[in-house]
Amino acid sequence: MLPHQIDTLISARWVVTIDHASRVLEHHSVAVAGGKIVAILPSSEAEQRFVAKEHITLTDHALMPGLINLHTHSAMSLLRGFADDLPLMTWLQDHIWPAEKQHVGEQFVYDGTLLAAAEAIKSGVTCLNDMYFFPQPTARALLDARLRGAVSVNVIEFPTQYASDAEDYLSKGLEAHNRYGGEALLQFTMAPHAPYTISDRTFERMVTLADQLDMQIHCHIHETRAEIEGSIKEFGVRPLERLARLGMLSPRLIAVHMVHLLEDEMAQLAEHGVHIAHNPSSNMKLASGICPVSTLHDFNINVGLGTDGAASNNRLDMFTEIRAAALLAKVATENPEVVPAHRALEMATICGARALGREDDLGSIEVGKLADLTAVDLSDIVCQPCFDPTSQLAYVAGRENVTHVWVQGQCLLDNRQLTTLDEAELKQKARIWHDRIAAR
């Protein structure tokens, strides 16, 4: 039997599949053709069965699904460290929103998204679920980086440098969707900012559009106690109850943060199939509280992981979030068995895919899925000894150990070197923006 021609054969010490069986396969290879995984088999068999245009041998690595950052504000990488150690509303109202009013435009968003894409790729991330203004330059930057992303039709009720009112935000977001919605690397989400910045009428309009256009809905909800208190004062109910009455709760909804929840609210989320984007580092840094991940899991609610933006977290590092999510859940419940290593890795991969409606083609290493893959070198002294690669990925390895990243079979990081982006050019862009913002 003649060998099959394929594009790429990746042979690794371990293949951490994150499939339904949570398998860890030793000395296995993943065969890639046409951007998809076409076979997973022992490396000794793979070399006989396939002839690859490129054969990568990763002798001390774990090959895992690419990480999915379920919530971020990519362009805000240019505001990294701009306003630290502040509560959420002070941070937003007194620092971030004024800075955005002065500086955010198409070039800011394009450059900031490219900077975020570079950080994401070097951190093993293959897909970003973004929420920000100016979706067209966001889309262009992701395509130039060849990074997968969900681009937002972002809406906030008050005027900004981007749009004047809710209808203007929607019109511009839908224009971006019409232009870039057919790109294989992109999908779009409806993104109402938060209950405290969106009217009932706009929420209802966005739910209708999401249904018509088959989009997920991406929204900050129950992030702080102040948000909940404000909703009770203004609407007479907690934010989640208000959103339930407006028809927001469904499997389309990716509810971001969800820090302050009652048990009956969690039951309601489970009943409607709502997904959660947990952002442990951002919630800790802004002192917003601790998302009750363990109880959400008890209700069989899907919980993925996000970094939030670099302006509030300061780093777009999903390995930090994996470790933080596991440890924070343990200390919050005083139970070391909750969110074990394999569950934390699932939250960063297949759970994010499920939330985006992409479980069938992303989030695990399985035949037929897209070849979005990350290789992590576990040979470093800080990773020794390695008894369990799953545990090592969750608790020991960091983004500095990521060596290779593929999106749809294309290598974006080759032995720690970016292949689609110019690192020196991005550093220069960051310096220019720093000087411009600091001068104000």
Is 173 a residue whose pLDDT tops 90?
yes
Is 347 a residue whose pLDDT tops 80?
yes
Helices and strands: H and E segment counts in the chain:
17, 16
CATH 3.40.50.150 matches 67-355: no
Confidence at residue 6, expressed as pLDDT on a 0 to 100 scale: 97
pLDDT band at 21 (very low <50, low <70, confident <90, very high): confident
- Domains in the chain: boundaries: 4-65+369-408, 67-355
Asked whether 124 and 412 are in contact (CB, 8 A), the reply is: no
Q: Same CATH fold, 67-355 and 4-65+369-408?
A: no
Average pLDDT of the segment spanning 263-271: 98
Q: What is the mean pLDDT of the chain?
A: 96
**pLDDT single digits (tens) 129-150:** 999 999 999 999 999 999 999 9
Structure tokens at 424: 């020196």
Burial (CB < 10 A; 0-12, 13-18, 19+), residue 48, is exposed
Average pLDDT of the segment spanning 359-364: 98
220 is in an annotated binding site: yes
Average pLDDT of the segment spanning 392-412: 98
Confidence at residue 97, expressed as pLDDT on a 0 to 100 scale: 87
**pLDDT single digits (tens) 213-263:** 999 999 999 999 999 999 999 999 999 999 999 999 999 999 999 999 999
275 is in an annotated binding site: no
Average pLDDT of the segment spanning 27-36: 98
pLDDT band at 92 (very low <50, low <70, confident <90, very high): confident
Cis omega before residue 280 (within 30°)?
no
pLDDT band at 170 (very low <50, low <70, confident <90, very high): very high
Is 1 a residue whose pLDDT tops 60?
no
434 is in an annotated binding site: no
**Of 13, 165, 204, 137, which is closest to residue 152 (Cα–Cα)?**
137
Measured in whole angstroms, the distance separating CA 159 from the mean position of its chain's CA atoms is 27
Q: Rounded to whole angstroms, what are the CA distances from 13 to 129, 196, 366, 405?
A: 30, 49, 17, 16
Could you please report the per-residue DSSP string of 94-148? IIIHHHHHHH-SHHHHHHHHHHHHHHHHHTTEEEEEE--S-HHHHHHHHHHHT-E
Confidence at residue 2, expressed as pLDDT on a 0 to 100 scale: 61
The overall pTM is greater than 0.85: yes
223 is in an annotated binding site: yes
Structure tokens at 104: 């955010």
Contacts of residues 412-415 at CB distance under 8 Å and 24 or more positions apart, as own/partner, are 412/121, 412/145, 412/146, 412/147, 413/121, 413/122
Q: What percent of the chain has pLDDT over 70?
A: 100
4-65+369-408 homologous superfamily:
Urease, subunit C, domain 1 (2.30.40.10)
pLDDT band at 389 (very low <50, low <70, confident <90, very high): very high
**pLDDT single digits (tens) 282-312:** 999 999 999 999 999 999 999 999 999 999 9
How far is 363 from 405, CA to CA, in rounded Å? Answer: 14
Confidence at residue 354, expressed as pLDDT on a 0 to 100 scale: 98
Average pLDDT of the segment spanning 23-30: 97
Q: Which of 18-27, 262-271, 425-434 has the lowest mean pLDDT?
A: 18-27
The neighbour count for residue 417, using CB atoms within 10 Å, is 12
71 is in an annotated binding site: yes
Confidence at residue 88, expressed as pLDDT on a 0 to 100 scale: 83
Q: What is the DSSP letter of 370?
A: B
Helical (H) or strand (E) element with 438: helix 423-439
